[in-house]
A = this chain, B = another copy of it.
């Protein structure tokens, strides 16, 4: 049995409905191995399939430019819910809901939540359909369960790498969070955005663990990066070209602030914010990253220079204190 629902029927329906002749298929890294199989399905439905082999980590990274460049008349984007308000190319979002059960992992998580009475829930779009069951399991274990909905994302309790509004909206009501999903990435986001103890129930590995120590490590590292960036004479401001990560106006405002501080600012545009790309500019002392804020937080050890989020830069510019940054969030708007 497949681990995800690829909704193959909807592909055929959409191609027929639009009369699409050329389809660009975009999948996040974990789903890419299925691309050749899905390409054959698209071809059988009467359209030419082209698979994007570029990395993709979110619906912010929608391959609209590539679709335009290849004259595709339909873009099929797997693994993320809709994020951008408008797409320049007709786009079918297929969320790739996970088919595996989460019970085993949640059972293992319960003992790790023993110190807390009120627990908030969080998950990715792959597992939003399990939240009712998870809630019941926790209620049976004697917990009061809260699921937040800040109305910015399609589903209550859902989090994405850069938007933790749903958990922040209930953070003051709960003592801890349970994140249901794979890996540490989203769970760390919950812990960093709320400052609350956070436990992962990973249905892929059928494991449960706390991410609190790792979140503390990241916070210490961020403080060190901010201190180092405060001494920088030349600051680079990074502008992404990804449609949901392009913040040129913010970058221009940050450039003006840097210059008011009598430092030098250089704007850099790039498709992927990679450590190797920044190593080409040895005279730049630190960077402010207006692209995906998680690049700053999660990849810090790979960068040779500090790469601050826009919010972290506010500490360097003197607009925020470190304490108010922690309260407002290191990386969210």
Contact = CB atoms under 8 A, between A and B. Distances in A.
A24 B248 CA distance: 13
Interface stretch (A46-54, A76-84, A204-212): A46-54
B239 A281 contact: no
Count chain B CB atoms within 10 A of each CB in A50, A52, A278 and give the residue with the most. Answer: A50
Interface string A231-260: 000100011010000101000100000000
A36 B281 contact: yes
A53 B241 contact: no
A267 B54 contact: no
A280 interface: yes
A253 to B, nearest CB: 13
A55 B278 CA distance: 10
Interface string A8-28: 000000000000000010000
Given A70-B248, A238-B53, A39 B280 contact: no
Interface stretch (A142-150, A269-277, A316-324): A269-277
* Chain A interface category by residue count: 35 or more
A79 B168 CA distance: 49
How many copies of the chain does the oligomer comprise?
2
Given A39-B266, A266-B39, A239 B280 contact: no
B280 A33 contact: yes
Contacts of A24: 269
Nearest to A24: B269
B248 A51 contact: no
A36 B269 contact: no
Contact of A53 (B37, B55, B281): B281
A270 B50 CA distance: 10
A280 B246 CA distance: 26
A294 interface: no
Contacts of A277: 53-55
Interface of A: 24, 29, 32-33, 35-37, 39-40, 48-55, 65-66, 69-70, 234, 238-239, 241, 246, 248, 252, 264, 266-272, 276-278, 280-284
